């Protein structure tokens, strides 16, 4: 039995991860720590689990933790977990700067614990199907990609620069960058970005457009904007169009749904019937701990996705492309 705790419920995905844990044989949600005691106690009650007012008390009773805190606290909680010998699944982005990301990787390596980053898009069934097609060379050599990850503006700490590290570009770029790195096995080598706040009147960026280049001369554009209305039914609309020398593949990670017109709630809802990507992520992490194997999504993957995101902000500041090392 793999005993797991959740550290902070600040990120909304924590509730999906908690629900996934309860479905996985061989996994036990031991408890929840949250510096916001009211939120933590309510979350623990929701999952019929125990609330821990101190992180150390939880860490002493588990094999691993899922960290869903504000972005700027990822390093703090990861280093604390590593010091207690606990494996870590950390919500994305891995950190708000490369120094913290490297420190997290080093702390886990030194402690001999696993560090996995939460990129659930890799576990979406359409994404895995496209991975197979690309590996088979079904569209020849990929020459260009068009991507999106547009969603609604989340508010709260997500628009606090100190806690989030950035706005829409920070929030939504990393998902697509990680997916493309995994799908193609190529690294990004340059970024040009236009970043601004034009939609919600917030102090952080709510829209942007990235022009990127990958190894082998592949060009890509990415729209990570918070441009969807408040009633939008998902956190993003992850799409990717791959243009190859022998064909085109269009991917929509959230397309498997029914539209429900709910007059009672006065809104249109999506009922998703496809595979649960969050469940796939959590199941994979539990298996990595139980089987004592390397996580499928490593701290290095998190760092490389963050590197592209930070380069986008730097490019927007400079008004010119930024080369990646």
Host H or E run for residue 324:
none
Tell me, what's the pLDDT at 31? 98
Specify the pTM. 0.95
Q: With CA atoms as reference, report the closest residue to 126 among 117, 118, 134, 137.
A: 134
- CB count within 10 Å of CB 76 equals 16
Q: Which domains occur in the chain, in start order? A: 2-113 (3.40.50.720), 121-277+306-323 (3.30.360.10)
CB within 8 Å of 266: residues ≥ 6 apart? none
Residue 239 CA to residue 228 CA, distance in Å, equals 14
Tell me, what's the pLDDT at 168? 97
Residue 171 CA to residue 118 CA, distance in Å, equals 12
* Chain segment 116-170, per-residue pLDDT in tens: 999 999 999 999 999 999 999 999 999 999 999 999 999 999 999 999 999 999 9
CB within 8 Å of 64: residues ≥ 6 apart? 2, 3, 4, 5, 86, 87, 88, 89, 114, 285, 286, 289
Determine the distance from the C-alpha atom of residue 68 to the mean position of all C-alpha atoms in its chain, rounded to a whole number.
Answer: 11
Residue 91 CA to residue 135 CA, distance in Å, equals 28
Degrees, nearest 5: CA angle 311-316-319: 115
Helices (H), ranges, the chain: 13-21, 37-46, 55-59, 74-83, 98-111, 125-135, 161-164, 168-184, 277-291, 299-318
* Confidence class for position 60, pLDDT limits 50, 70, 90: very high
In this model, does residue 97 exceed pLDDT 80?
yes
* Chain segment 195-238, per-residue pLDDT in tens: 999 999 999 999 999 999 999 999 999 999 999 988 777 777 89
Please provide residue 176's backbone torsions phi and psi, each rounded to the nearest 5 degrees. Answer: -75, -40
Residue 16 CA to residue 203 CA, distance in Å, equals 29
């Amino acid at each position: 039995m793999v005993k797991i705790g959740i550290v902070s419920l600040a990120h909304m995905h924590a509730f999906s991860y908690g629900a996934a844990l309860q479905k996985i044989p061989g996994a036990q949600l031991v408890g929840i720590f949250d510096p916001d005691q009211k939120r933590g106690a309510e979350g623990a009650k929701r999952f019929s689990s125990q609330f821990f007012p101190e992180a150390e008390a939880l860490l002493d009773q588990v094999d691993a933790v899922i960290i869903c805190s504000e972005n700027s606290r990822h390093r703090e909680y990861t280093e604390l977990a590593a010091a207690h010998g606990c494996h870590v699944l950390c919500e994305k982005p891995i950190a708000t700067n490369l120094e913290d990301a490297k420190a997290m990787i080093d702390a886990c390596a030194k402690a001999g614990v696993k560090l996995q980053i939460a990129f659930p898009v890799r576990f979406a069934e359409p994404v895995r199907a496209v991975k197979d097609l690309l590996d088979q060379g079904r569209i020849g050599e990929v020459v260009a990609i068009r991507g999106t990850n547009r969603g609604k503006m989340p508010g709260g700490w997500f628009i606090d620069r100190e806690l989030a590290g950035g706005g829409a570009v920070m929030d939504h770029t990393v998902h697509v960058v990680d997916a493309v790195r995994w799908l193609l096995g190529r690294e990004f080598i340059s970024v040009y970005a236009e970043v601004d706040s034009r939609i919600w009147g917030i102090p952080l960026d709510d829209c942007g457009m990235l022009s990127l280049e990958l190894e082998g001369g592949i060009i890509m554009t990415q729209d990570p904007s918070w441009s969807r209305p408040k009633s939008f039914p998902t956190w993003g609309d992850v799409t990717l169009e791959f243009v190859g020398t022998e064909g085109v593949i269009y991917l929509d990670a959230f397309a498997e749904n029914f539209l429900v017109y709910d007059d009672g709630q006065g809104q249109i809802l999506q009922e998703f019937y496809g595979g649960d990507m969050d469940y796939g992520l959590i199941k994979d992490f539990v298996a990595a701990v139980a089987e004592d194997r390397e996580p499928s999504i490593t701290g290095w993957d998190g760092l490389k996705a963050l590197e592209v995101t930070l380069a986008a902000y730097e490019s927007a500041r400079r008004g010119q492309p930024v080369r990646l090392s």
